């Protein structure tokens, strides 16, 4: 597996693993030993960046990741997140909370679940409008000074907020959605990251599974799958958006690869400091995703893809209103 650097400081595999779906978000959690086996299979295939968060489960995904990676701890990078107020008994989210004391308490709890002495990359999961970003960056700076965190990250933050945080504690990586069907951050965020020397960790690089071609307008999701409330995944939107998948399929067929591999290879060609973190619960999908790092797209290929995609208008918002309100601040 090729390596890349986030923020010119943190070296990771060119493709990481988003671990959320093993415990949360896309239907029932996988059986624990199956989740451990999948994570360890990723290590065997050269993946070194593993992404989790306290809110995934909540708490159970960090436990899973910590146990799975314990034998390989010195060889991998573990990223987790703070920023939500979670009832420790019920697991219910009670809103955002990036108060400095809360950030430090979350770090201590995450360290225990992850079975480690240091969090490699600690993201603010969502910007908290009630806490100045300078205070947030200052709290993480304290954790870095104390050796409990190595690098500071942000997620779904606006360019101006990133600049303010970076002035207090250098930001190593921004995690945001970025893919062939969500490119909004090309307008302001990507130029800001390039100027400041910050890496991008792209989540949902396969459009929450849609860009793989495995989802149709008639696909039924489990009742606990959050795609049920995402406007972009309504049957009507899916039916319209299949035009994008068809185009990817045509391009993939010409290259002798899969649509998912084209989508990931496209991301890798955008900037040398972009690292996608596709998630999966299936070994064959893990193998497919990691092999995308070896897919070569020429400048001509990229031009062909952009021209083809410009003819397709993706239908549906990427989040319902209550979740959309939490991004881009």
Alpha helices in 16-175 (DSSP H): 32-44, 60-69, 100-114, 133-145, 159-168
Given its phi and psi angles, is residue 204 left (phi above 0), alpha (psi -120 to 50 degrees) or beta?
A: left
Sequence-separated contacts (24+) of 188-194 with Cβ below 8 Å? 188/158, 188/159, 189/158, 189/159, 189/162, 190/270, 190/271, 191/159, 192/159, 192/162, 192/163, 193/162, 193/273, 194/271, 194/273
Structure token digits, residue 227: 């795609």
Exactly one of 26, 56, 123, 203 is catalytic; name it.
Answer: 56
Q: How far, in Å, CA of 45 to CA of 43, rounded? A: 5
Length of the chain: 329
Task: Tell me whether residue 319 is one of the annotated catalytic residues.
Answer: no
Query: Residues with catalytic annotation?
Result: 56
């Amino acid at each position: 597996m090729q390596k890349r650097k986030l923020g010119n400081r943190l070296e990771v595999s060119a493709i990481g693993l988003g671990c959320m779906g093993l415990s949360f978000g896309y239907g029932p959690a996988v059986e624990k030993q199956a989740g451990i086996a999948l994570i360890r299979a990723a290590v065997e295939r050269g993946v070194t960046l593993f992404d989790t968060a306290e809110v995934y489960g909540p708490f159970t995904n960090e436990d899973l990741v910590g146990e799975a990676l314990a034998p390989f701890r010195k060889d991998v990078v573990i990223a987790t997140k703070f920023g939500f107020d979670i009832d420790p008994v019920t697991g219910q989210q009670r809103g955002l909370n990036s108060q400095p004391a809360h950030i430090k308490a979350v770090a201590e709890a995450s360290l225990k679940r992850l079975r480690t002495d240091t969090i490699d990359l600690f993201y603010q999961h969502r910007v908290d409008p009630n806490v100045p970003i300078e205070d947030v960056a200052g709290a993480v700076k304290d954790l870095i000074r104390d050796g409990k965190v190595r690098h500071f990250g942000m997620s779904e933050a606006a360019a101006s907020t990133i600049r303010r945080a970076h002035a207090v504690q250098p930001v190593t990586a921004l995690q945001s959605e970025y893919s062939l069907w969500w490119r909004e951050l090309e307008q302001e965020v990507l130029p800001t990251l390039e100027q400041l020397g910050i890496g991008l960790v792209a989540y949902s690089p396969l459009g929450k599974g849609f860009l793989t071609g495995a989802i149709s307008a008639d696909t039924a999701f489990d009742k606990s799958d959050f795609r049920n409330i995402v406007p972009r995944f309504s049957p009507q939107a899916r039916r319209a958006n299949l035009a994008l998948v068809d185009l990817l399929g045509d391009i993939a067929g010409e290259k002798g690869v899969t649509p998912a591999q084209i989508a990931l290879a496209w991301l890798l060609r955008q900037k040398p400091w972009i690292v996608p973190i596709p998630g999966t619960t299936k070994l064959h999908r893990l193998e497919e995703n990691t092999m995308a790092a070896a897919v070569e797209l020429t400048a001509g290929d990229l031009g062909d893809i952009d021209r083809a995609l410009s003819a397709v208008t993706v239908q549906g918002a990427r989040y319902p209103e209550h979740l959309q309100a939490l991004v881009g601040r």
